[in-house]
Amino acid sequence: MEKYNNVGTEKSARREGEETMTDVYGYVRVSSRDQNEDRQMIAMRELSVAEKNIFMDKQSGKDFERPAYKRMLRRMKKNDLLYIKSIDRLGRNYGEILEQWKMLTREKEIDIVVLDMPLLDTRRGKDLMGMFLSDIVLQVLSFVAENERSNIRQRQAEGIAAAKARGVKFGRPAIPYPDNFWEIYRDWRGKKITLREAADACEMPVGTFYGKVRKLESCN
């Protein structure tokens, strides 16, 4: 009987060992305008992260659903390890970065390594002082990342304003009035043809035709 009990104990120990085995993950995020994820992907492969454990989202700043990130979270378990290239991969702003960091490290108890900032490696300093220093560094870097994004937006806005002051036109060029516009316009106003027929005759969308009519009539 003791022999069988020992076998059962060994099997239980093996199962516990399997359940606590650390899996390594990598998360990559690029905006839809900047499709070059090569730098982040190369970093993950150099760390020998398995392809099946590399999750990537390609999204703009306005669309931040991050389906791949959510799938990764569902798979990750306590003591797993997550690599990210830079701290701003976790969020768009200071608040989001801190929220995700705390959720990953404290709620899910996952280790994180930020490759561009070696100080942010939760495998080191597991004591209270180590966690305290890591949190301070994180808050400073998150603030810097958000401040840099704000500065970029401000510089872009100032650049656009300066360009407009110089007479630079933005957006698609206006569609010129076709040669038959006046004739079509009179027929439409005289209820001889419908709005759709008028727009088709001018070879332009209904909205464009109607917009030109409104602009024309507002000037008269």
- Whether 83 is in a domain gets the answer yes
pLDDT score for 83? 96
Q: Are 110 and 81 in contact (CB under 8 A)?
A: yes
Phi, psi of 115 (to 5 degrees): -65, -35
Length of the chain: 220
The encoded tokens of residue 176 equal 């010129």
| Domain carrying residue 215 | 181-219
Residue 158 lies in a domain: no
Tell me the CATH number at 100.
3.40.50.1390
Same-domain status, 196 and 108? no
Determine the pLDDT at residue 17: 46
Nearest in space to 210 (alpha carbons), one of 190, 188, 191: 188
Is residue 165 scored above 80 in pLDDT? no
Question: What residue spans of the chain are helical by DSSP H?
Answer: 2-19, 38-46, 67-75, 94-102, 128-165, 181-189, 195-201, 206-219
Residue 21: name the closest of 91, 79, 71 by CA. 79
**Marked catalytic residue, from 12, 31, 32, 60:** 31
Q: Amino acid identity of 109?
A: E
pLDDT surpassing 50 at residue 27: yes
**Greater confidence, 17 or 121?**
121
Considering the entire predicted model, what is its pTM? 0.55
Residue bearing the bigger pLDDT, 23 or 144 = 23
Q: Judge whether 26 lies within some domain.
A: yes
Beta bridge partners of 84: 27, 114
Domain boundary among 92, 123, 148: 148
What pLDDT, on the 0 to 100 scale, is given for residue 200? 87
The C-alpha atoms of residue 193 and residue 139 are separated, in whole angstroms, by 65
Strands of the sheet containing 81-84, edge to edge, are: 54-58, 24-30, 81-84, 111-114
Q: Are residues 81 and 143 in the same domain?
A: yes
Two tokens, residue 26: 């990598």
For the segment 64-112, what is each residue's pLDDT rounded down to a tens digit? 678 999 999 999 999 999 999 988 888 877 778 888 888 998 889 999 9
Asked if residue 13 has pLDDT above 60, the reply is: no
Q: Which of 25, 23, 27 is nearest to 97 (CA)?
A: 27
192 or 12: which leads in pLDDT? 192
Helix (H, G, I), strand (E, B) or coil at 91: coil
> What mean pLDDT comes out for the span 27-55?
83
Active site residue 31: yes
Predicted pLDDT of residue 130:
60
Give me Rg for the CA atoms of the chain. 29
Residues 142 and 188 both lie in one domain: no
Query: What integer best gives the mean pLDDT of the chain?
Result: 78
Count of C-beta atoms within a 10 Å radius of residue 87: 22
pLDDT at 133 over 70: no
DSSP state, 22? P
Q: How confident is the model at residue 168 (pLDDT cuts 50, 70, 90)?
A: low
Structural domains of the chain, count: 2
pLDDT at 20: 60
Write out pLDDT tens, residues 170-189: 656 666 777 788 888 888 88
Average pLDDT over residues 121-128: 75
Taking CA atoms, 125 is separated from 10, 116, 139, in Å, by 33, 18, 17
Same domain for 117 and 20 = yes
